Amino acid sequence: MDDLAPTGAPPRMLSRLFPFLLALLLPLAAAAQPAVPVTTEAARIGPLPVEILANGTVVSESVVTIRTRVDGQITQVHVTEGQLVRRGQVLFTLDSRLNQAILAQQEAQLAANRAQIVRFQADAVRYQSLRGEGFAAQQRFEQATAEAAAAVANARATEALIQQTRLNIEFATITAETEGKLGVLPLRVGNVVRQAENVPMATITQMDPILVQFSVPERWLPQIRAALNAGEVPVQALGDGETGQPAEGALVFVDSAVDVATGTIQLRARFDNPGGTLWPGQYVRVTVVPSVEQDAISIPSAAVQTGQQGRYIFVLAPDGTARRRAVQLVRTLRDRAVVRGEIAAGDKIIVDGAQRVTEGARAVERNAPPAAPAPQRVSSAN
């Protein structure tokens, strides 16, 4: 049995040396693996606006329906469909000859009433001087006074009728009550319009300024209210599918209650719209900027990954290895993600190739600037 003891000594020694050999071989194996090509982008720390994104609808502040206030036949249409009109511009002219004839008749009646006033007042003066000569004279004086008062009342009634007729003649010229764009004109020259039928003759939609109506989740309400109390809250709007510079406006309305069915609150923003960029009924993408975060940490959104322990990123360390960092995603701003975590300004965040690296893996930048060439030595001639 003792002869067999020495033969077991080498295996026991190898089992003790195995951890040390493994620790020496792992760095050699890692160094032997090729470096993963990646692209990086530096982390930024600085002021970044807080943006609330929503979908909205363009609505007009004022839509005026044009209707006639008198009966008559359309004799002239002074505008065309879709035309921009200003307040007070003539749109339609109705036939007013009947009202003009009535006006002439009423003016003649007023002249007769005024003549009666002169006559009855003269009678009242004459009978006033005869009041002391008997009962009949007194009675005639009172009658003349009453007739003069009645003539004055009749004249005032006729004046009121004249004013009404002149208004009807004025209403025969239909003008724009607001500035905006005309819609469809369903009536043409020759159509007869009646006040009782209440048929729309045209609609005028105000285009400048214009409103955008949208809703945001109620969790943003405290921040929006605080921003409104501090001053103007900027809002941007861009048509669905459009590219380019968005329209700039300001928040003007916050609804008085949260919609309990959707958990959202309705807002409105007003935009100057001189060129008609925003169109009533148009769907737009809305961006509200209630505040600016001064020390925001931002990285490319494509660099953020999600694992079992939450979100994380890889940072390219100075020694050329990938290091995993846990982060908390706060919000996104276009192609940037605002995060919280152990990230410093200028850290090289791995963007393209982050799915192919692991903790401690070697990586090389594909977007690294080429190394400067060594200065060329020129031998001096003797």
Q: Return the pLDDT at 272.
A: 94
Q: Which residues, including other chains, have CB under 8 Å from residue 83's CB and lie 6 or more apart?
A: 181, 182
Q: Return the pLDDT at 356.
A: 87
Residue 331, φ and ψ in degrees, nearest 5: -170, 170
Domains of the chain plus CATH, in order, are: 51-61+207-292 (2.40.30.170), 62-94+174-205 (2.40.50.100), 96-171 (1.10.287)
Q: Return the pLDDT at 380.
A: 37
Residue 222, preceding peptide bond in cis (omega within 30° of 0): no
CB 266 within 8 A of CB 215: yes
Residue 10, preceding peptide bond in cis (omega within 30° of 0): no
Q: Return the pLDDT at 145.
A: 82
Q: Which residues, including other chains, have CB under 8 Å from residue 369's CB and lie 6 or more apart?
A: none
Answer whether 0.85 is exceeded by the pTM.
Answer: no
Residue identified by tokens 């200003």 is 86
User: What is the spatial distance between Cα 239 and Cα 282, in angstroms, rounded to a whole number?
Assistant: 7
Q: What is the pLDDT of residues 138-168, one digit of tens each?
A: 677 778 788 888 889 999 999 999 999 999 9
Three-class secondary structure of residue 152 per DSSP: helix
User: What is the spatial distance between Cα 205 and Cα 181, in angstroms, rounded to a whole number?
Assistant: 5
β-strand partners of 283: 57
Across the 382 residues of the chain, what is the mean pLDDT of every consecutive 10-residue run? 49 60 55 78 89 93 93 94 93 94 94 88 74 61 82 92 94 92 93 91 93 95 92 92 88 94 95 91 93 87 89 91 90 85 89 88 74 44 36
- Copy the structure tokens of residue 327: 């982060």
Gyration radius of the chain over CA positions? 45
Q: What is the pLDDT of residues 30-46, one digit of tens each?
A: 455 688 899 999 999 88
Residue identified by tokens 């819609």 is 183
List alpha helices for 172-235, DSSP H: 221-230
Cβ neighbours around 353 below 10 Å, total: 19
The one-letter code for the residue type at 153 is A
Helix H or strand E segment including 122: helix 97-129
